[in-house]
Amino acid sequence: MSETRRTVLITGVTRGIGRSVAERLAEDGHVVVGCGRSAPVLEALSSRLKAPHRFAAVDVGDAEAVDGWARDVLDAGAVPDLIFNNAALMNELAPMWKVPADEMERMLRVNVLGVANVVRAFVPAMIERGRGVVVNLSSGWGSSTSPEVGPYCATKYAIEGLTGSLAQELPAPLACVALSPGVVDTEMLRQCLPDLAPSCVGPEAWADRYVDDLLALGRADNGRSLRFELG
**CATH number, domain with residue 212:** 3.40.50.720
Position 31 in a domain: yes
Whether residue 14 is contained in a domain is answered as yes
Angle (nearest 5°) at CA 121 between 83 and 65: 105
Q: Give a yes or no: residue 2 inside a domain.
A: no
User: Is 177 inside any structural domain?
Assistant: yes
The tens digit of pLDDT for each residue in 78-117 reads: 999 999 999 999 999 999 999 999 999 999 999 999 999 9
| Mean pLDDT for the stretch of residues 12-21 | 97
Q: 231 in a domain, yes or no?
A: no
Domain count of the chain? 1
Question: What integer is the mean pLDDT of 218-231?
Answer: 94
pLDDT of residue 1: 37
Whole domain around residue 173: which residue ranges? 7-226
Cβ-proximal residues to 68 (8 Å cutoff; 6+ apart), any chain: none
Arithmetic mean of pLDDT, 148-170: 98
Beta strands 175-180 and 7-11, pairing class = unpaired
pLDDT band at 3 (very low <50, low <70, confident <90, very high): low
Q: Tell me the whole-structure pTM to 2 decimals.
A: 0.95
Has residue 108 been placed in a domain?
yes
Checking if the pLDDT of 12 tops 70, the result is yes
Which residues does the annotation mark as catalytic?
Answer: 152
